[in-house]
Amino acid sequence: MIGVRGEAEVVVDGCGSRLDTWSACLVPTEAFHDYSGNARNHVLVIDLDPCLPAFTNPGHEDYDRMAPLFERPRALRFDSRLQSLVHLSAGEFALAPENTAMHRHLAAGILHCMSERLVRTPSRATQSHFSPDTIRRYVLENLHRKITVGDLAGVACLSVSRFHDIFRTMTGTTPHQYLLQIRLEQSVKLIIDTSLTIAEISHRAGFSSQAALTNALRKHRGTTPSALRSGN
């Protein structure tokens, strides 16, 4: 399942994942999964049936390279090139809904690109299949809203407790502390580099109020928004 427009929630074998325009969720054939979206969502679903003769035909040996994609449930974040390919393909599907040959070729191209990225991405830890960079990108893309540890665990396709343990091992901090650090970093940058009101900055950085931002800056950075803006 690949996000094309909007956001949706996918749960695969009890592991939650968020679909947006920069992500996909890979679901093994035997895995139980639930999907939750609305009329504004657009999700591209590529179904593969391993029992189809085409997958054992010598002319389709290249499909063997994609088998590791579906060894277990996993979430994949896109780079800009892969996202462009997905959106181009979704547009072509809409323009030619009856052209099944074109659909198969474009879908296979998307899967091959996803497979190549998974092969090229080194594992930072044998017990995990995510990187701190992936988590940071997700946080920055969703900074304006409430982000839970469950959301981050969903990006990594791990249980909350497992994600918490692995994340702390990999980064030396807890997910809650990491979220706060990024919110503060972005708040400081906006206070210094823009003329936005402190209320607007607190909203963009995901703080519940201007007072919450001020208190967090005072407690963790020893400063206040007015002091930062005045250069003191």
How much is the pTM?
0.49
Q: What is the mean pLDDT of the chain?
A: 81
Of 121, 148, 183, the residue that ends a domain is 121
Per-residue pLDDT at 119: 67
What is each CA distance from 92 to 19, 78, 87, 161, in whole angstroms?
A: 21, 19, 9, 41
Q: 168 with 195, same domain?
A: yes
Domains in the chain, number: 2
Q: 93 with 12, same domain?
A: yes
Distance of CA 216 to the CA centre of its chain: 27
- CA–CA separation, 189 and 124 (whole Å): 29
Residue where the block lists tokens 């959106």: 87
Question: Is the model's pLDDT at 202 over the cut of 90?
Answer: yes
CATH number for the domain that contains residue 147: 1.10.10.60
Nearest to 139 by CA among 199, 187, 205: 205
Nearest to 48 by CA among 117, 115, 122: 115
Residue 111's domain comprises: 2-121
Tell me what the mean pLDDT of segment 197-221 comes to: 93
- On the CB side of 40, CA atoms within 13 Å amount to 5
pLDDT digits over 4-18, tens only? 888 888 887 666 677
Q: 111 with 174, same domain?
A: no
Q: 151 with 204, same domain?
A: yes
Q: 115 with 221, same domain?
A: no
pLDDT digits over 142-193, tens only? 999 889 988 888 888 777 888 888 888 888 889 999 999 999 999 999 999 9
User: pLDDT band at 35, cuts 50/70/90?
Assistant: confident
Q: Determine the 3-state secondary structure of 48 from DSSP.
A: coil
Token pair listed for 201: 């900055």
User: pLDDT band at 128, cuts 50/70/90?
Assistant: very low
